[in-house]
Amino acid sequence: MKKITFMLILIGAIGLFFMEPVYAGILWKYDLYSAKRAAKQATKPVMIDFYTDWCGWCTKLDNETYDNSQVQNLARKFICVKIDGDKQKNLVRQYRVTGYPAIFFLDNNGNVVKKIPGFVDANTLTPIMKSVLKSIKPSVPVKSRSKKKPSVLNTIMKRIMPSKTDSKSAKTERFTLSGILEGKRGKQAIINDNVVGVGGTVDGATVDSISGNSVILNCKGRKIRLDL
C-alpha cells in the first residue's frame, strides 16, 4: 500500500513538473520562440510580461492585475509569455526594455503593436487588451484564398495575341531538320532541304552545333534547337 501511495505521489510530482506554469489563473509560457510559433498556429496575438525577481511592481502586477477575472478571461485569447529580464538580456535589448514590469503585445506574425511601460491596474489593462484584439485581424490561410479569375478581356487577348512560347514555336517551325549526315567534312545537317555544316547558314540562321540527333541554330541571337 505504501509503495502504491509513493508511486502516485511521484507520478503527480512529475506531471506538475512538466505542466505549463499557471499563475493567477493565466497560462504562461516562458519561451518566446514557442509562444510565437503557437500564436501563428492559433492566429492569436502574444502578450509578453517582462519581469525580474527583485521587481516589487512586478509582484504587484501578478498579485493584483493578473488576478482580475476580466484580465484572465481576455488572456485566454492571447498566447501569454513571461520573460525574466535578468536571464534573457538578449530579448531585453531586442525589445528595448528600459524598466520593469513592461508588457508588450505582438500580432500573430511577431510584430509589436502595443507597449505598456510600468505597472498598470486591471481597469487600465482590460481596455488595452480589448483594443489589441480588435485591431488584429486573423491571417487568412493560403489554401482558403480564392484564385482570381482571368477577365474576359484577358481571355480574348490570349487567343488573339501569341505568347512568347507561341512566338518561339513559330520560329522553330520555320526550320525542318530531316536528317544528319557524317562524312569526310564531318557532321552535316539537312535543314529545309539544304545540306549545311557547323558555321553554315540556312534561311537567315547559322548552325552553331550538330550533335547526336539534334542541331542548334542561332537566329538573330536566339538559340533554336531542332530534333529529329
Burial class (CB in 10 A: 0-12, 13-18, 19+), 119: buried
> Alpha-carbon distance 200 to 120, whole Å?
85
CA dihedral 199, 200, 204, 205 (to 10 degrees): -50
- Extract the C-alpha cell encoding 50: 517582462
Sheet of strand 177-183: strand arrangement: 177-183, 186-191, 194-197
What gap in Å lies between CA 211 and CA 189, rounded to an integer?
10
Tens of pLDDT, residue by residue, the chain (228 residues): 555 555 555 555 554 444 444 445 889 999 998 899 999 898 999 999 999 999 999 999 999 999 999 999 999 999 999 999 999 999 999 999 999 999 999 998 889 999 999 999 999 999 999 999 988 765 544 444 445 555 555 555 555 454 443 444 545 567 888 777 777 677 888 887 788 889 999 888 999 999 878 899 998 888 999 887
Round to whole Å and give the CA distance between 110 and 121.
25
Dist. CA 50–CA 160, nearest whole Å:
63
* Greatest Cα pair distance in the chain: 102
Can you give the pLDDT at residue 152? 57
User: pLDDT value at position 159?
Assistant: 53
Contacts of 68 (CB under 8 A, 6+ apart): 122, 125, 126
CA distance 10 to 16: 10
3-state secondary structure of 99: coil
Q: Helices in the chain by DSSP H: which ranges? A: 2-18, 32-42, 56-60, 69-75, 89-94, 122-135, 152-160, 164-173
Buried b / exposed e along 21-41 (16+ C-beta atoms within 10 A)? eeebebebbeebeebbebbbe
Model pLDDT, residue 81:
96
Domains of the chain, each with CATH number or no CATH: 9-137 (3.40.30.10), 169-227 (2.30.30.830)
User: Which residue in the block uniquely carries the three cell numbers 564531318?
Assistant: 186
3-state SS, residue 29: strand
**Per-residue cell: 60:** 504587484
pLDDT at res. 82: 95
The residue type found at 116 is I
